[in-house]
Amino acid sequence: MNTRRQFFATSAGAALALGAGVGAQPVAAAAARRIKIGLSSYSYWHFAAVKVSIDDVIDKAAALGVDGLDILHRQMDCAEFGRLDDTMHAYCQRLKQHAFRAGVALVCLSIEQDFVSPHPAERHKWVAHTEKCIEIAYALGVPCVRVSAGRWKTIADFALLMKARGQEPALRGFTEDDAFKWCIDALHKCVDVAKERGVTLALENHWGLTNTPEGQLRILKAVNSPWLGALMDTGNFLENPYDKLTAIAPQTVFVQAKTYDGGGVFYTLDLDYQRIAKILRDAGYTGYVALEMEGKEAAATAVPKGLALLRAAFA
């Protein structure tokens, strides 16, 4: 008995000493943690008429040895809207088991919503949709949900929006401040549900209110919740991307990394992933970086190239 007590006392002391050492060197400890490379299911389906199923993407992700899978909600084999019924719940449970047996972690559910509307009923529709998707993430065992703020939609055609570099005028009679208030109020509601389910919301730098780091950070600061962080999409700042990515890096909880093999479906950027990796490391980021291949080349060849690029940059 004395020997056992001495062993536990010695072990406890060693653990405390080790813990003190780790605590004294937080930067070194963070540097030793590996950024994990994931894959977005969107890489295999760019909204074409025929979907590539999530089951198929799970198998492809397993074969490619990725650390985690980011599921695009619109790519799932279910209606985008409507309630989470028993059939949908069973589908989520089956996907979760499939991924577990394949050795692939389900790490993010990427959903779409738009809170920029002067009509309360329209905003409520998107809040309800977001709350339902949080429940889907909970059923899948997914810890993160990608969310969007929304945009005015005064430029309806996406190609024209890209020509305008993602900038569009406000609806007549309303201001940017109105839009930010609508979005912030809506996200406050969504965050309450996310906290209950233990799901982190990740607000993407996207077109509209989050087209600039200032807009994205304004929303995050106003909501002010540990259950809402930034999603860094490396391809959504069209000009001076590195300064803008640096600005949002400290708030980033998930990363989607664009590649454009064969030329971009919508546009093409020449991104320096060694530089982006340094930005994230300098900010202390140690989460997932999920490949979003958005090029015209076949995914069968472009996705492995994109993963190799990210693995080399973030090694």
pLDDT of residue 290: 98
pLDDT of residue 275: 98
Would you say residue 18 has pLDDT above 70?
no
Average pLDDT over residues 9-37: 50
Q: Distance between CA 116 and CA 199 in Å, rounded?
A: 23
Q: Distance between CA 8 and CA 131 in Å, rounded?
A: 47
pLDDT of residue 32: 56
**259 exposure class (CB count in 10 Å sphere: 0-12, 13-18, 19+):** buried
| 8 Å CB contact between 216 and 205 | yes
Bigger pLDDT: 77 vs 32: 77
Average pLDDT over residues 208-227: 97
Q: Does domain 34-314 have CATH number 3.90.1200.10?
A: no
Q: Distance between CA 302 and CA 10 in Å, rounded?
A: 54
pLDDT of residue 78: 86
